[in-house]
Structure 1
Amino acid sequence: MSKYKVILFDLDGTLTDPKVGITKSVQYALGKMGISVTTLDQLDSFIGPPLKDSFSELYHFNSEEVEQAIQLYRERFVEHGMYENEVYESIPELLHSLKGQGKSLVIATSKPTVFAEKILQYFKLDSYFDLIVGSNLDGTRSAKTDIIQYILDVKKDCTLEDFIMIGDRKHDIIGANNTGIDSIGVTYGYGSHSELMDSEPTYIVHTVKEIGELLLERCEITSANQHQKF
Protein backbone atom coordinates (compact mmCIF):
# COMPACT_ATOMS: atom_id res chain seq x y z
CA MET A 1 0.00 0.00 0.00
CA SER A 2 1.17 3.53 -0.73
CA LYS A 3 2.99 5.24 2.11
CA TYR A 4 0.99 8.46 1.71
CA LYS A 5 -1.66 9.10 4.33
CA VAL A 6 -2.83 12.60 3.35
CA ILE A 7 -3.66 13.20 -0.31
CA LEU A 8 -3.92 16.83 -1.43
CA PHE A 9 -5.88 17.46 -4.63
CA ASP A 10 -5.96 20.55 -6.76
CA LEU A 11 -9.51 21.14 -8.04
CA ASP A 12 -9.50 22.80 -11.47
CA GLY A 13 -7.84 20.64 -14.10
CA THR A 14 -7.28 17.78 -11.66
CA LEU A 15 -10.67 16.69 -10.33
CA THR A 16 -12.85 18.68 -12.71
CA ASP A 17 -12.62 20.27 -16.15
CA PRO A 18 -13.72 23.87 -15.52
CA LYS A 19 -12.78 25.30 -18.92
CA VAL A 20 -16.15 26.59 -20.06
CA GLY A 21 -17.06 28.29 -16.79
CA ILE A 22 -13.68 29.90 -16.16
CA THR A 23 -12.93 31.03 -19.70
CA LYS A 24 -16.42 32.42 -20.30
CA SER A 25 -16.24 34.34 -17.02
CA VAL A 26 -12.81 35.74 -17.94
CA GLN A 27 -14.15 36.63 -21.39
CA TYR A 28 -17.06 38.43 -19.72
CA ALA A 29 -14.74 40.40 -17.41
CA LEU A 30 -12.39 41.40 -20.21
CA GLY A 31 -15.32 42.43 -22.41
CA LYS A 32 -16.61 44.74 -19.67
CA MET A 33 -13.14 46.29 -19.60
CA GLY A 34 -13.08 46.86 -23.34
CA ILE A 35 -11.01 43.85 -24.38
CA SER A 36 -12.63 41.51 -26.88
CA VAL A 37 -11.66 37.83 -26.84
CA THR A 38 -13.52 35.71 -29.38
CA THR A 39 -11.83 32.32 -28.85
CA LEU A 40 -12.10 30.71 -25.43
CA ASP A 41 -8.97 28.64 -26.08
CA GLN A 42 -6.98 31.86 -25.75
CA LEU A 43 -7.93 31.95 -22.08
CA ASP A 44 -6.86 28.43 -21.02
CA SER A 45 -3.91 29.94 -19.16
CA PHE A 46 -6.36 31.29 -16.58
CA ILE A 47 -7.20 27.76 -15.45
CA GLY A 48 -5.16 26.96 -12.35
CA PRO A 49 -3.17 30.03 -11.27
CA PRO A 50 -4.61 32.75 -9.00
CA LEU A 51 -6.74 35.16 -11.04
CA LYS A 52 -4.82 38.18 -9.84
CA ASP A 53 -1.60 36.72 -11.24
CA SER A 54 -3.17 35.86 -14.58
CA PHE A 55 -4.80 39.24 -15.14
CA SER A 56 -1.58 40.98 -14.15
CA GLU A 57 0.81 38.81 -16.15
CA LEU A 58 -1.28 38.15 -19.26
CA TYR A 59 -2.98 41.54 -19.65
CA HIS A 60 -0.57 43.75 -17.70
CA PHE A 61 -3.33 45.16 -15.51
CA ASN A 62 -2.33 47.36 -12.60
CA SER A 63 -3.59 46.53 -9.09
CA GLU A 64 -6.83 48.53 -9.45
CA GLU A 65 -7.59 46.96 -12.82
CA VAL A 66 -6.90 43.50 -11.42
CA GLU A 67 -9.41 44.04 -8.62
CA GLN A 68 -11.99 45.33 -11.09
CA ALA A 69 -11.45 42.35 -13.40
CA ILE A 70 -11.81 39.87 -10.53
CA GLN A 71 -15.07 41.44 -9.39
CA LEU A 72 -16.44 41.35 -12.94
CA TYR A 73 -15.30 37.74 -13.30
CA ARG A 74 -17.16 36.79 -10.14
CA GLU A 75 -20.36 38.44 -11.36
CA ARG A 76 -20.69 35.76 -14.00
CA PHE A 77 -18.86 32.93 -12.23
CA VAL A 78 -21.14 32.91 -9.19
CA GLU A 79 -24.29 32.80 -11.30
CA HIS A 80 -23.21 30.45 -14.07
CA GLY A 81 -19.50 29.71 -14.32
CA MET A 82 -18.94 27.45 -11.35
CA TYR A 83 -21.55 25.02 -12.69
CA GLU A 84 -20.20 25.01 -16.26
CA ASN A 85 -17.86 22.27 -15.18
CA GLU A 86 -17.42 18.51 -15.54
CA VAL A 87 -15.96 15.90 -13.23
CA TYR A 88 -13.22 13.94 -14.97
CA GLU A 89 -14.08 10.34 -15.71
CA SER A 90 -13.24 7.88 -12.89
CA ILE A 91 -12.59 10.61 -10.29
CA PRO A 92 -15.49 9.56 -8.00
CA GLU A 93 -14.28 5.96 -8.10
CA LEU A 94 -10.72 7.04 -7.29
CA LEU A 95 -11.85 9.14 -4.33
CA HIS A 96 -14.06 6.30 -3.08
CA SER A 97 -11.17 3.83 -3.23
CA LEU A 98 -8.73 6.18 -1.49
CA LYS A 99 -11.23 6.92 1.25
CA GLY A 100 -11.91 3.20 1.61
CA GLN A 101 -8.21 2.58 2.29
CA GLY A 102 -8.23 5.13 5.10
CA LYS A 103 -6.57 8.01 3.28
CA SER A 104 -7.28 11.57 4.42
CA LEU A 105 -8.30 13.59 1.35
CA VAL A 106 -7.86 17.36 1.20
CA ILE A 107 -8.62 20.01 -1.42
CA ALA A 108 -5.78 22.50 -2.01
CA THR A 109 -6.96 25.06 -4.56
CA SER A 110 -6.23 28.68 -5.42
CA LYS A 111 -9.95 29.14 -6.01
CA PRO A 112 -11.73 30.87 -3.09
CA THR A 113 -12.73 28.29 -0.49
CA VAL A 114 -16.40 29.27 -0.62
CA PHE A 115 -16.54 28.56 -4.38
CA ALA A 116 -14.65 25.28 -4.06
CA GLU A 117 -17.10 24.12 -1.39
CA LYS A 118 -20.11 24.91 -3.59
CA ILE A 119 -18.61 23.13 -6.62
CA LEU A 120 -17.80 20.00 -4.61
CA GLN A 121 -21.29 20.00 -3.09
CA TYR A 122 -22.89 20.45 -6.52
CA PHE A 123 -21.04 17.44 -7.91
CA LYS A 124 -21.55 15.43 -4.70
CA LEU A 125 -17.83 15.07 -4.05
CA ASP A 126 -17.65 17.04 -0.80
CA SER A 127 -18.21 14.01 1.45
CA TYR A 128 -14.86 12.51 0.38
CA PHE A 129 -12.83 15.40 1.77
CA ASP A 130 -11.78 15.99 5.36
CA LEU A 131 -10.68 19.55 4.61
CA ILE A 132 -11.26 22.05 1.80
CA VAL A 133 -8.68 24.83 1.65
CA GLY A 134 -8.61 27.60 -0.94
CA SER A 135 -7.89 31.30 -1.07
CA ASN A 136 -9.77 34.01 0.76
CA LEU A 137 -12.19 36.26 -1.13
CA ASP A 138 -9.91 39.25 -0.47
CA GLY A 139 -7.14 37.56 -2.44
CA THR A 140 -5.01 36.50 0.50
CA ARG A 141 -3.68 32.93 0.79
CA SER A 142 -3.90 32.45 -2.98
CA ALA A 143 -0.37 31.11 -3.54
CA LYS A 144 -0.29 27.31 -3.55
CA THR A 145 2.68 27.32 -1.17
CA ASP A 146 0.62 29.21 1.43
CA ILE A 147 -2.35 26.91 0.93
CA ILE A 148 -0.30 23.75 1.38
CA GLN A 149 1.51 25.18 4.39
CA TYR A 150 -1.85 25.97 6.00
CA ILE A 151 -2.88 22.33 5.53
CA LEU A 152 0.39 21.10 7.02
CA ASP A 153 -0.15 23.36 10.02
CA VAL A 154 -3.66 21.95 10.52
CA LYS A 155 -2.44 18.35 10.32
CA LYS A 156 0.46 18.70 12.72
CA ASP A 157 0.29 15.06 13.80
CA CYS A 158 1.50 13.96 10.36
CA THR A 159 5.05 14.06 9.02
CA LEU A 160 6.00 15.60 5.68
CA GLU A 161 6.49 12.09 4.31
CA ASP A 162 2.78 11.40 4.87
CA PHE A 163 1.67 14.06 2.35
CA ILE A 164 1.48 14.21 -1.42
CA MET A 165 0.09 16.99 -3.65
CA ILE A 166 -1.66 16.21 -6.96
CA GLY A 167 -2.12 18.92 -9.57
CA ASP A 168 -1.97 19.84 -13.24
CA ARG A 169 -0.03 23.12 -13.14
CA LYS A 170 3.45 24.15 -12.09
CA HIS A 171 2.03 26.11 -9.15
CA ASP A 172 0.91 22.83 -7.54
CA ILE A 173 4.33 21.25 -7.91
CA ILE A 174 6.24 24.37 -6.84
CA GLY A 175 4.01 24.66 -3.77
CA ALA A 176 4.75 21.05 -2.86
CA ASN A 177 8.49 21.52 -3.37
CA ASN A 178 8.50 24.71 -1.30
CA THR A 179 6.82 22.97 1.62
CA GLY A 180 8.88 19.78 1.43
CA ILE A 181 6.25 17.26 0.34
CA ASP A 182 6.03 14.90 -2.64
CA SER A 183 3.91 15.64 -5.68
CA ILE A 184 2.19 14.14 -8.70
CA GLY A 185 1.91 16.15 -11.89
CA VAL A 186 -1.07 15.13 -14.04
CA THR A 187 -0.86 15.80 -17.76
CA TYR A 188 -4.58 15.44 -18.56
CA GLY A 189 -5.29 18.92 -17.16
CA TYR A 190 -4.15 22.34 -18.37
CA GLY A 191 -0.43 22.34 -17.70
CA SER A 192 1.85 21.11 -20.47
CA HIS A 193 4.16 18.16 -19.94
CA SER A 194 7.16 20.48 -20.20
CA GLU A 195 5.70 22.91 -17.65
CA LEU A 196 5.24 20.08 -15.19
CA MET A 197 8.65 18.54 -15.79
CA ASP A 198 10.38 21.88 -15.41
CA SER A 199 8.79 22.26 -11.97
CA GLU A 200 10.26 18.90 -10.88
CA PRO A 201 7.40 16.77 -9.55
CA THR A 202 8.09 13.51 -7.74
CA TYR A 203 5.90 11.64 -10.22
CA ILE A 204 4.22 12.29 -13.57
CA VAL A 205 1.00 10.51 -14.59
CA HIS A 206 -1.21 10.85 -17.64
CA THR A 207 -4.58 9.49 -16.52
CA VAL A 208 -6.80 9.25 -13.45
CA LYS A 209 -6.26 5.48 -13.53
CA GLU A 210 -2.51 6.00 -13.14
CA ILE A 211 -3.09 8.10 -10.00
CA GLY A 212 -4.87 5.09 -8.53
CA GLU A 213 -2.13 2.71 -9.63
CA LEU A 214 0.40 4.87 -7.81
CA LEU A 215 -1.53 5.61 -4.62
CA LEU A 216 -3.42 2.36 -4.17
CA GLU A 217 -0.81 -0.20 -5.11
CA ARG A 218 0.34 -2.74 -2.54
CA CYS A 219 4.08 -2.37 -3.10
CA GLU A 220 6.07 0.49 -1.62
CA ILE A 221 7.10 3.16 -4.15
CA THR A 222 10.41 4.96 -3.94
CA SER A 223 11.32 7.76 -6.33
CA ALA A 224 15.11 7.21 -6.26
CA ASN A 225 15.53 10.88 -7.16
CA GLN A 226 13.93 10.39 -10.56
CA HIS A 227 10.53 11.10 -12.07
CA GLN A 228 8.46 7.97 -12.45
CA LYS A 229 5.64 7.39 -14.92
CA PHE A 230 2.86 5.01 -13.99
Structure 2
Amino acid sequence: MSKYDVILFDLDGTVTDSKLGIAKSVQYSLSKYDIMVENLDDLEKFIGPPLLDSFQEFYLFDETKANEAVKHFREYFSKQGIFENAVYPKLPELLEELKKLNKTLIIATSKPTVFAKKILDHFNLSQYFSSIVGSNLDGTRTSKSEVINFVLSTLPNISKKNIVMVGDRKHDILGARQNGLDSIAVTYGYGTTEEFKKAEPTYYAESIDDLLELLK
Protein backbone atom coordinates (compact mmCIF):
# COMPACT_ATOMS: atom_id res chain seq x y z
CA MET A 1 0.00 0.00 0.00
CA SER A 2 1.25 3.45 -0.88
CA LYS A 3 1.69 5.70 2.12
CA TYR A 4 0.47 8.69 0.10
CA ASP A 5 -3.10 9.79 0.83
CA VAL A 6 -2.78 13.11 -0.97
CA ILE A 7 -1.31 13.33 -4.47
CA LEU A 8 -0.41 16.65 -6.07
CA PHE A 9 -0.28 16.58 -9.87
CA ASP A 10 1.45 19.02 -12.15
CA LEU A 11 -0.69 19.71 -15.24
CA ASP A 12 1.44 20.39 -18.36
CA GLY A 13 3.52 17.38 -19.35
CA THR A 14 2.06 15.29 -16.54
CA VAL A 15 -1.73 15.16 -16.98
CA THR A 16 -1.97 16.70 -20.45
CA ASP A 17 0.42 16.95 -23.35
CA SER A 18 0.13 20.69 -23.88
CA LYS A 19 3.14 21.17 -26.12
CA LEU A 20 1.34 22.37 -29.25
CA GLY A 21 -0.72 25.08 -27.54
CA ILE A 22 2.10 26.38 -25.37
CA ALA A 23 4.67 26.37 -28.18
CA LYS A 24 2.31 28.14 -30.59
CA SER A 25 1.45 30.75 -27.95
CA VAL A 26 5.16 31.41 -27.31
CA GLN A 27 5.77 31.54 -31.08
CA TYR A 28 2.97 34.12 -31.42
CA SER A 29 4.37 36.20 -28.54
CA LEU A 30 7.94 36.17 -29.86
CA SER A 31 6.74 37.20 -33.32
CA LYS A 32 5.63 40.50 -31.76
CA TYR A 33 9.34 41.21 -31.21
CA ASP A 34 10.32 40.07 -34.72
CA ILE A 35 11.72 36.84 -33.29
CA MET A 36 10.58 34.12 -35.67
CA VAL A 37 10.83 30.55 -34.42
CA GLU A 38 9.74 28.07 -37.08
CA ASN A 39 10.44 24.83 -35.24
CA LEU A 40 8.04 24.37 -32.31
CA ASP A 41 10.39 21.78 -30.77
CA ASP A 42 12.72 24.68 -29.97
CA LEU A 43 10.06 26.08 -27.63
CA GLU A 44 9.52 22.86 -25.67
CA LYS A 45 11.62 24.31 -22.85
CA PHE A 46 8.77 26.72 -22.07
CA ILE A 47 6.57 23.85 -20.85
CA GLY A 48 6.48 23.76 -17.07
CA PRO A 49 8.41 26.72 -15.66
CA PRO A 50 6.77 30.13 -15.02
CA LEU A 51 6.56 31.98 -18.35
CA LEU A 52 7.97 35.22 -16.97
CA ASP A 53 11.17 33.42 -15.95
CA SER A 54 11.43 31.61 -19.29
CA PHE A 55 11.22 34.76 -21.44
CA GLN A 56 13.96 36.27 -19.28
CA GLU A 57 16.13 33.15 -19.25
CA PHE A 58 15.85 32.03 -22.88
CA TYR A 59 15.48 35.38 -24.67
CA LEU A 60 17.12 37.71 -22.14
CA PHE A 61 14.05 39.95 -21.89
CA ASP A 62 14.08 42.33 -18.94
CA GLU A 63 11.20 42.03 -16.50
CA THR A 64 9.02 44.70 -18.15
CA LYS A 65 9.42 43.17 -21.59
CA ALA A 66 8.89 39.65 -20.20
CA ASN A 67 5.63 40.74 -18.55
CA GLU A 68 4.50 42.18 -21.88
CA ALA A 69 5.51 38.94 -23.64
CA VAL A 70 3.36 36.97 -21.17
CA LYS A 71 0.39 39.19 -22.11
CA HIS A 72 0.97 38.44 -25.80
CA PHE A 73 1.24 34.72 -24.97
CA ARG A 74 -2.16 34.88 -23.26
CA GLU A 75 -3.78 36.64 -26.23
CA TYR A 76 -3.23 33.50 -28.29
CA PHE A 77 -3.42 30.96 -25.48
CA SER A 78 -6.74 32.08 -23.99
CA LYS A 79 -8.56 31.78 -27.33
CA GLN A 80 -6.81 28.95 -29.14
CA GLY A 81 -3.71 27.50 -27.49
CA ILE A 82 -5.54 26.37 -24.38
CA PHE A 83 -7.31 23.63 -26.34
CA GLU A 84 -4.35 22.64 -28.57
CA ASN A 85 -3.75 20.03 -25.96
CA ALA A 86 -4.39 16.31 -25.32
CA VAL A 87 -4.80 14.09 -22.27
CA TYR A 88 -2.10 11.43 -21.96
CA PRO A 89 -3.49 7.97 -22.80
CA LYS A 90 -4.50 5.97 -19.67
CA LEU A 91 -4.44 9.10 -17.51
CA PRO A 92 -8.23 9.18 -16.87
CA GLU A 93 -8.06 5.48 -15.87
CA LEU A 94 -5.24 6.28 -13.44
CA LEU A 95 -7.30 9.05 -11.81
CA GLU A 96 -10.35 6.80 -11.67
CA GLU A 97 -8.34 4.07 -9.95
CA LEU A 98 -6.82 6.47 -7.41
CA LYS A 99 -10.25 7.91 -6.57
CA LYS A 100 -11.51 4.37 -5.90
CA LEU A 101 -8.65 4.03 -3.42
CA ASN A 102 -9.91 7.19 -1.66
CA LYS A 103 -6.84 9.24 -2.53
CA THR A 104 -7.19 13.03 -2.46
CA LEU A 105 -6.01 14.41 -5.82
CA ILE A 106 -5.01 18.04 -6.27
CA ILE A 107 -3.66 19.94 -9.27
CA ALA A 108 -0.60 22.08 -8.43
CA THR A 109 0.50 24.00 -11.53
CA SER A 110 2.37 27.21 -12.40
CA LYS A 111 -0.30 27.82 -15.07
CA PRO A 112 -2.90 30.40 -13.99
CA THR A 113 -5.70 28.67 -12.04
CA VAL A 114 -8.35 30.04 -14.40
CA PHE A 115 -6.71 28.35 -17.44
CA ALA A 116 -6.05 25.10 -15.54
CA LYS A 117 -9.74 24.87 -14.60
CA LYS A 118 -10.83 25.50 -18.20
CA ILE A 119 -8.53 22.76 -19.50
CA LEU A 120 -9.63 20.19 -16.92
CA ASP A 121 -13.30 21.03 -17.53
CA HIS A 122 -12.77 20.73 -21.28
CA PHE A 123 -11.32 17.22 -20.89
CA ASN A 124 -13.86 16.23 -18.24
CA LEU A 125 -11.13 15.68 -15.62
CA SER A 126 -12.11 18.29 -13.00
CA GLN A 127 -14.32 15.70 -11.29
CA TYR A 128 -11.24 13.82 -10.06
CA PHE A 129 -9.58 16.74 -8.26
CA SER A 130 -10.65 18.10 -4.90
CA SER A 131 -8.92 21.37 -5.77
CA ILE A 132 -7.13 23.00 -8.66
CA VAL A 133 -4.37 25.37 -7.59
CA GLY A 134 -2.32 27.43 -9.99
CA SER A 135 -0.75 30.85 -10.25
CA ASN A 136 -2.62 34.16 -10.21
CA LEU A 137 -3.08 36.22 -13.38
CA ASP A 138 -1.39 39.20 -11.69
CA GLY A 139 1.93 37.32 -11.73
CA THR A 140 1.91 36.20 -8.10
CA ARG A 141 2.27 32.61 -6.84
CA THR A 142 3.99 31.49 -10.05
CA SER A 143 6.81 29.37 -8.65
CA LYS A 144 6.05 25.71 -8.05
CA SER A 145 7.31 26.06 -4.49
CA GLU A 146 4.76 28.81 -3.77
CA VAL A 147 1.95 26.83 -5.39
CA ILE A 148 2.76 23.75 -3.28
CA ASN A 149 3.10 25.89 -0.17
CA PHE A 150 -0.39 27.28 -0.77
CA VAL A 151 -1.82 23.77 -1.27
CA LEU A 152 -0.24 22.64 2.01
CA SER A 153 -1.85 25.59 3.83
CA THR A 154 -5.23 24.08 2.86
CA LEU A 155 -4.26 20.66 4.32
CA PRO A 156 -3.36 21.50 7.92
CA ASN A 157 -4.07 18.11 9.47
CA ILE A 158 -2.22 15.89 7.03
CA SER A 159 1.36 14.81 7.64
CA LYS A 160 3.78 15.76 4.87
CA LYS A 161 4.90 12.12 4.87
CA ASN A 162 1.50 11.26 3.37
CA ILE A 163 1.69 13.78 0.52
CA VAL A 164 3.59 13.43 -2.77
CA MET A 165 4.16 15.70 -5.78
CA VAL A 166 4.01 14.19 -9.28
CA GLY A 167 5.57 16.19 -12.11
CA ASP A 168 7.68 16.14 -15.26
CA ARG A 169 10.15 19.01 -14.70
CA LYS A 170 12.82 19.86 -12.14
CA HIS A 171 10.60 22.68 -10.81
CA ASP A 172 8.10 20.09 -9.55
CA ILE A 173 10.82 18.08 -7.81
CA LEU A 174 12.59 21.08 -6.30
CA GLY A 175 9.28 22.68 -5.26
CA ALA A 176 8.36 19.46 -3.45
CA ARG A 177 11.71 19.31 -1.68
CA GLN A 178 11.52 22.96 -0.61
CA ASN A 179 8.22 22.11 1.07
CA GLY A 180 9.42 18.87 2.66
CA LEU A 181 7.55 16.52 0.34
CA ASP A 182 8.50 13.39 -1.57
CA SER A 183 8.29 13.58 -5.36
CA ILE A 184 7.78 11.36 -8.39
CA ALA A 185 9.36 12.39 -11.68
CA VAL A 186 7.39 11.18 -14.69
CA THR A 187 9.77 10.70 -17.59
CA TYR A 188 7.08 10.61 -20.29
CA GLY A 189 6.75 14.44 -20.07
CA TYR A 190 9.22 17.19 -20.94
CA GLY A 191 11.94 16.95 -18.30
CA THR A 192 15.43 15.79 -19.31
CA THR A 193 17.43 13.00 -17.69
CA GLU A 194 20.04 15.59 -16.85
CA GLU A 195 17.68 17.92 -14.98
CA PHE A 196 16.22 15.04 -12.98
CA LYS A 197 19.70 13.82 -11.99
CA LYS A 198 20.36 17.22 -10.48
CA ALA A 199 16.91 17.58 -8.90
CA GLU A 200 16.93 14.07 -7.35
CA PRO A 201 13.28 12.97 -7.20
CA THR A 202 12.26 10.37 -4.61
CA TYR A 203 10.97 8.06 -7.36
CA TYR A 204 10.79 7.81 -11.14
CA ALA A 205 7.82 6.66 -13.23
CA GLU A 206 8.45 5.93 -16.89
CA SER A 207 4.80 5.38 -17.73
CA ILE A 208 1.28 5.84 -16.36
CA ASP A 209 1.36 2.16 -15.34
CA ASP A 210 4.53 2.75 -13.32
CA LEU A 211 2.89 5.73 -11.69
CA LEU A 212 -0.13 3.70 -10.67
CA GLU A 213 2.10 1.05 -9.11
CA LEU A 214 3.88 3.69 -7.04
CA LEU A 215 0.68 5.39 -5.92
CA LYS A 216 -1.67 2.56 -5.11
Class of the TM-score when normalised by the shorter of the 2 chains:
over 0.9
Match of 1:37 in 2: 37
CA distance in 2, matches of 1:109, 1:134: 5
Match of 2:207 in 1: 207
Q: How does 1:101-116 map to 2 (within 5 A)?
A: 101-116=101-116
Match of 1:54 in 2: 54
- Length-normalised TM-score, structure 1: 0.93
What SS does the aligned partner of 1:194 have?
helix
Matching of residue 171 in structure 1 with residue 171 in structure 2: yes
1:202 counterpart letter in structure 2:
T
CA distance in 2, matches of 1:128, 1:207: 20
CA distance in 2, matches of 1:133, 1:200: 24
Deviations 1:3-37 (A, max 9, x none): 10000000000000001000000000000111111
Match of 1:99 in 2: 99
Q: How does 1:1-230 map to 2 (within 5 A)?
A: 1-216=1-216
Runs of 4 or more consecutive aligned structure 1 residues displaced over 2 Å after TM superposition: none
Gaps of 5+ in 2: none
Q: 1:197: how far off?
A: 2.1
What SS does the aligned partner of 1:185 have?
strand
- Length-normalised TM-score, structure 2: 0.99
CA distance in 2, matches of 1:53, 1:209: 33
2:21 counterpart letter in structure 1:
G
Gaps of 5+ in 1: 217-230
Deviates most, 192-201 or 133-142: 192-201
Q: 1:151: how far off?
A: 0.7
CA distance in 2, matches of 1:193, 1:204: 11
CA distance in 1, matches of 2:193, 2:97: 27
Deviations 1:185-207 (A, max 9, x none): 01110001221121011001110
* Identity level (%): 54
1:214 counterpart letter in structure 2:
L
Deviations 1:25-80 (A, max 9, x none): 00000001111111101100000000001000000001111111001000000110
Q: CA RMSD in A?
A: 0.6
Instruction: Give the length in aligned residue pairs.
Output: 216
1:212 counterpart letter in structure 2:
L
